[in-house]
A and B are shown apart, each in its own frame.
Chain A
Amino acid sequence: MLGGGLLAFLVIPVIALFVTGSPTDWLAGLRHPITAPAMLLSLVTTVLSLGVLVAFGTPLAWWLGRSEARAARLVETVVQLPIVVPPAVAGLALLLAFGRRGLLGPLLQGLNIDIAFSTIAVVLAQVFVAAPFYIQAATTAFAGIDENLLVVARTLGARPATVLFRVALPLARRGLIAGAALAWARALGEFGATLMFAGNLSGRTQTLPLAVYTALESDVRAAQALAVLLVVIALVIIIFLRPRRGRHRR
């Protein structure tokens, strides 16, 4: 019964998002001028973030998953840090690292790169908070590959690159996809770090969650429509992930 209480508590707010508005309201909300730029920006930035994560995170996870070294375990812990750090802290840390007056500020200014308040800042914030989700899932997936399969492939004359692309990646595929989906969802929902590090400007740094927050102050309908949209996307991701996780357990 206590479990049911918690379940109700988790489900009721989501139901409330849907039943307190009508589809006409949502359509009107989606037509609000704040919506379209935010949707486009969220799509572009999260795709970029995911690209960066997959490109840089996959080799890192490969090493973490296959290495027995002490250093690998230490790195694994460090990589988890963004999960437990509050997003606002992440935003401040990013600002103090990459901002104009930040640790790397002089270096970046020398290269004429200005990150704070730019779309790049949005992507960096997303990569920072989403990275652990992808790296963790990919590490587990790589660690689960049977060493013998890789050895056999190599003795049969496959080059290391071929082993990676033809054997290891297909075997780890499910874990990689699940990690990428979770990381993408986290990047899409990123709010605190973005607000602090990238600011809030329609079309440049105002992603969907920031638009929800901003719209709430002028047009609750628009905020609710955007919220419904984000929940639907989240539901799709969870449903997409569920059967795969079931198969893993077997």
Chain B
Amino acid sequence: MKKLVIAALVVSAVAATARAESREITVFAAASLREVFEDLAKTFEAKSGIKVRVNLAGSQELRMQIENGASADVFASADQKHMAALAKAKLVATPRVFARNMPVVIVPKDNPARVGSFAELSRAKKLVVGVPEVPIGSYTLEILDRTGAEFKQKVLANVASRELNVRQVLAKVTLGEADAGIVYRTDAMAGKDKVQIIEIPAKVNVIAEYPVAVLSNAPQAAAARAFVDLLFSSDGQKRLAAGGFAAP
């Protein structure tokens, strides 16, 4: 027992020093923010000397982790719904929209199903979309709702898989396993040597708003606010634009 106590004390002492030495913030970010946030994390580290750990996953997964007490400083969501739920539960401070994104259809470079336009989407016999719980999945349904019941039904009949985050949709199309998928423009740009983009007509498309907020119990609240400020700075906005995002 005595040994155990000593061991526990040693472990906690080591952990405490480690915490004091390395200042680090944890950023929970929607999967579609991968490239831009990895880039922004480096910029932030170079400027402030504070390390940024980016945890990327579907927004709904990140929200669930935060609801279950995951320790994080910043949350950037791919839709308002999940952020609003956290704001309502007072788990985050006031969210602000820092970027916009738009869903597009992607097909493999050689376009095996010969989908030439959004109207021909039902030609894709293997369509991969997001599950309705992940933002891209609910946007997909919203878009199809606006196209009319018949088209929606024809398209949904060809769904081969409902993936749990947008990057999995991209992966299935990049691998050539799916004839088409619906992802954000930014994801399409991240995989642009392997996929072709087909625009979704503006009158049926939705615009995804990306809100960001500092968590109410952020271990590094000041540094977290500085990271959020970087997103809104002209440098941050320039990098977001380079990744395919539109300004808020």
Chain A interfacial positions (CB closer than 8 Å to B): 1, 95, 99-101, 116-117, 195, 198-202, 205, 213-214, 216-218
Contact = CB atoms under 8 A, between A and B. Distances in A.
A200 B164 contact: yes
Interface residues of B, number: 23
Contacts of B164: 195, 200, 213-214, 217
A200 B1 contact: no
B177 A201 contact: no
10 contacts: A95-B177, A117-B177, A195-B164, A199-B160, A200-B131, A200-B163, A201-B160, A201-B161, A205-B161, A217-B58
A217 B159 CA distance: 20
B130 to A, nearest CB: 10
B159 A201 contact: yes
B35 interface: no
Interface string B152-182: 0000000111111000000010011110000
A173 to B, nearest CB: 40
Contacts of B176: 99-101
Interface string B172-209: 10011110000000000000000000000000000000
B167 to A, nearest CB: 13
B131 A116 contact: no
A200 B133 CA distance: 13
B242 interface: no
B175 A199 contact: no
Interface in B118-154: 126, 128, 131-134
A195 B164 CA distance: 9
Contact of A217 (B128, B131, B161, B175): B131
B32 interface: no
Contacts of B131: 200, 214, 217
Interface of A is mostly: loop
B162 A201 contact: yes
A225 B193 CA distance: 43
B147 to A, nearest CB: 21
Given A1-B1, A217-B60, A218-B133, A117 B175 contact: no
A213 B64 CA distance: 12
Given A117-B126, A199-B128, A217-B133, A99 B163 contact: no
Contacts of A1: 1, 4
Contacts of B126: 117
Interface of B: 1, 4, 58, 60-61, 64, 126, 128, 131-134, 159-164, 172, 175-178
A101 B163 contact: no
Contacts of A213: 164
A217 B172 contact: no
A38 B161 CA distance: 14
Contacts of B4: 1
Contacts of B132: 218
B163 to A, nearest CB: 6
A13 to B, nearest CB: 14
Given A1-B1, A214-B131, A200 B161 contact: yes
B178 to A, nearest CB: 8
Nearest to B131: A214
Given A1-B1, A101-B177, A117 B161 contact: yes
A95 B64 contact: no
Contacts of A198: 161
A214 B133 CA distance: 9
Nearest to B125: A114
Pairs A-B, 6 closest by C-beta atoms? A199-B161, A117-B160, A101-B176, A217-B133, A217-B60, A116-B177
Contact of B175 (A95, A205, A216): A95
A205 B160 CA distance: 9
Interface hub of A199, A200, A213, A214 (most chain B Cβ within 10 A): A199
A166 to B, nearest CB: 47
B133 A101 contact: no
A99 B134 CA distance: 26
Given A217-B61, A217-B133, A218-B133, A200 B177 contact: no
Contacts of A200: 131, 161-164
Contact of A199 (B58, B134, B163): B163
A195 B172 CA distance: 11
Given A100-B176, A214-B164, 5 more contacts: A200-B163, A201-B159, A201-B160, A213-B164, A217-B164
